[in-house]
Structure 1
Amino acid sequence: MQQGQPFEQASRSTQSFPYYRFSGTHREIGRQYGEACAPLIRKHRDYALERLRSKVVVPSLQALEEEALKYRPYVQQYAPFFDEEIQGIAQGAGISLGEAYFLQLRAEIYQHFDATDECTTFAVSPEATLDGTPLIGQNADLPAFYGEVGIVAEYVPDAGPACLMLTPAGQVSYIGINDCGMGVFANFLVSDGWRVGFPRYLLSRLALTKNSVDEAAAQVKSVYRASSRNLIMMDKTGRSLDLETVPARAAALEATNGILAHSNHFVSESMLEEERKTGEDLENSRVRLGRMRALLESKRGLLDVAAMQELLRDRETAPHTLCRMPGDFGESITFASVIAEPTKGNLWIAIGPPHQYEYKRYTFSS
């Protein structure tokens, strides 16, 4: 150990998520994905099924697949390229199409029991950073097993932007950036009115088919959405926007002094009536958002990747903490922590909880 080096820093693991590159037509991308990640995809499926069965009675796998496939027509209507990839994943991984769709919309399938609280996001515009490089990202909170099945995927389609994303194996969309300087990250929101429609996880990469936050927001608003979702977006100009959505409507939040943050409750005045979190669940989200905002403001003008890494390792407000460990609150932990520099094409990702792991840089292969 170097003299003066904190023990925690010296003992952090350098383990990282595996990286894969998929290219060609969307069907080819899906097939490559399925073949390369087959063991991880099947493990993800098995963990997700086990979690579902621990909470509700699942009549049969066939019934579950039929439920998942009800969402397929909306994917085919609004983003048929996703359907092509999901078909390819099923073929390549040796699972059914219904199972492949189940992995895209776990939250919608789980809707009839209590949702967990997931994720704290941020966006920092150029005027608030140390060197003028805009930053966006999040601590991603899910059950601990997602640390075992997470991957970094580079999607390079024959047409349209390339994307670099952190995602659980088998999902075609979660959080990340495109090669046009856009970044999109996301939070869980709880509302009424969930329905069969376009799945929430797919909204992030759908937004990444665009080059600006205004185009991306318009695209997200245009689809018949199945569920509630918060999206925080940034484009190559450094402009950021937060879009709180429920199935039938949406509201936007702008940055203040170059800083934008969100957790798992509604913030927009026009959306407060949609809130369904109560008690300690709501308190947890409010404390995390308050802490994120306070830390960003305290470092305004000094923020860069290194500063954000330390900020996202913060545990001062435990059990309602930004960096979440097993036993802190609920069943979620910070399974991954992500800092993006969209204009540079960089994703800095740590397996979580991030105070126990080092960040690794991933970038576009081209």
Structure 2
Amino acid sequence: MPTPTLLRIRAEGDPFALGHTHGTERAAALRAFLDDSLCRLNRILPKPVTLAELAPRIADYRTAIEQAVPDLARETEGLAAGAGITLTQAYLLQLRREIMGYRKVPTMGDCTTYARSGTAAHGLPVLAQTVDLNGDLDDQITVLDVAPAASGRRSLLLSFGGLLGYLGLNSSGLAVGLNLVLAGTWRPGVPPYLAIRHLLDHADTVEEALAVLQSLPLASSRSITLCDAERAVWAEYADGQWRLGDGPETTHTNHFLHPDLAPHDEINVFARRSSVRRLEACRERLAGLPSHASAEDHFAVLSAPPVCVADNGDIRRERTVAAAVMLPSRGELHLRPGNPAHHPTQVFTLR
């Protein structure tokens, strides 16, 4: 299969302008995605849903987002206008993972994430991860290059299907990644993907990002990995509780690592085995990786099983749909779309 050339959308200005540029450039693709079994939700969920059925729930999330991160609410409005879709549809694109919720079913994997900083990074901090999702979302990958007028920062982000954020880095030298962890009650609030975008717009360092992150009403459980030149941290969240783990090297998969949250883990036994196996493999490979390793060296860590999860043909199962290596001090986002073992690296830079 030929490697797709990833679309890079450059946008600057006020929030509505950012969203409008994004929506205009992706208009046909976003409308097609919405028409594809409602963003493929109805090919994944156990029971089909309609947009009309979801509308009240989406409205509750919209209210929470408008209150907590109004700039991103305005950007979502711009996305809708640019793409020629309704505002409810634009919010569905932001909330797709929240609508799916979490299911206690066997799975092969989810994201594997690690970061190196300080002495462990030989002066070149790195945050790297696989992106494991269901829904065959390889064809929805976009790179956002955004410069909000009020921020003073510029960010490079990996996006899927109209998302305003997923993972990325900013011009201050901060990188942010994430892992799905399952616990507590998922409720209307700020989706973690939008929270990550908010961090990149408003924080320069790990310390600042943690303060911003802990002030947000997060909608669902996650582990967020943060990295700058001096510090690497994972921050686990469930039901209003945050727990941290510090570097200089951090690794995370899909089970809680902090002893305060581990007893509340809802991951099923099959997924936990996969998560533990991937964590152990990642740590073993990192132990043999020098501090001055290149981005391609890091892709070698991400591209082999069990860290890389192959496609088994079931759209409902998570598999590796991309891998990212971020070098925040250089402003570089290195991406391999699809299975990273099968595609070359594409490099995006802020400079």
* Band the TM-score falls in, shorter-chain normalisation: over 0.9
The whole-number CA distance in structure 2 between the counterparts of 1:202 and 1:141 is 18
2:343 to 357, 361, 366: 357
* Superposition map of 1:329-348 within 5 A: 331-348=317-334
The whole-number CA distance in structure 2 between the counterparts of 1:121 and 1:225 is 20
The whole-number CA distance in structure 2 between the counterparts of 1:301 and 1:158 is 36
1:151 to 113, 136, 142: 142
Q: What's the CA shift for 1:66? A: 2.6
Q: Aligned pair in 2 of structure 1 residues 162, 200: CA closer, same or farther (>3 Å)?
A: same
Q: What's the CA shift for 1:148? A: 0.3
Q: Aligned pair in 2 of structure 1 residues 314, 57: CA closer, same or farther (>3 Å)?
A: closer
Aligned equivalent of 1:125: 117
Q: Which string of whole-angstrom CA distances, capped at 9 and with x for unpartnered residues, describes residues 129-148 of structure 1?
A: 3x521111210011252110
Gaps of 5+ in 1: 1-11, 316-320
1:78 to 60, 68, 78: 68
Q: Aligned pair in 2 of structure 1 residues 113, 280: CA closer, same or farther (>3 Å)?
A: closer
CA contact (8 A) 1:144 1:335 kept: no
SS of aligned partner of 1:356 = coil
Q: What's the CA shift for 1:87? A: 0.4
Instruction: Indicate yes or no: 2:30 matched with 1:41.
Output: yes
Gaps of 5+ in 2: none
After TM superposition, the structure 1 stretch with the greater mean CA deviation from structure 2, 272-281 or 39-48, is 39-48
Q: Which string of whole-angstrom CA distances, capped at 9 and with x for unpartnered residues, describes residues 29-50 of structure 1?
A: 1011101111222233334626
Aligned equivalent of 2:214: 221
Q: Which string of whole-angstrom CA distances, capped at 9 and with x for unpartnered residues, describes residues 176-229 of structure 1?
A: 001110000011111122112221221211221201111111211112221101
The one-letter amino acid paired with 1:139 is: T
Q: What's the CA shift for 1:106? A: 1.5
The one-letter amino acid paired with 2:234 is: D
1:253 to 234, 237, 245: 245
The whole-number CA distance in structure 1 between the counterparts of 2:253 and 2:37 is 23
Aligned equivalent of 2:171: 179
Instruction: Indicate yes or no: 2:315 matched with 1:322.
Output: no
SS of aligned partner of 2:214 = helix
Q: Aligned pair in 2 of structure 1 residues 43, 111: CA closer, same or farther (>3 Å)?
A: same
Q: What's the CA shift for 1:14? A: 4.5
CA contact (8 A) 1:19 1:153 kept: yes
Aligned equivalent of 2:267: 277
Q: Which string of whole-angstrom CA distances, capped at 9 and with x for unpartnered residues, describes residues 62-107 of structure 1?
A: 2213321211121111210100110011111111111111111122
The one-letter amino acid paired with 1:30 is: G
The one-letter amino acid paired with 1:17 is: L
The whole-number CA distance in structure 2 between the counterparts of 1:43 and 1:143 is 18
SS of aligned partner of 1:223 = coil
CA contact (8 A) 1:65 1:99 kept: no
The whole-number CA distance in structure 2 between the counterparts of 1:302 and 1:33 is 36
Q: CA RMSD in A?
A: 2.0
The one-letter amino acid paired with 2:162 is: G
CA contact (8 A) 2:130 2:308 kept: yes
Aligned equivalent of 1:15: 4
CA contact (8 A) 1:261 1:292 kept: yes
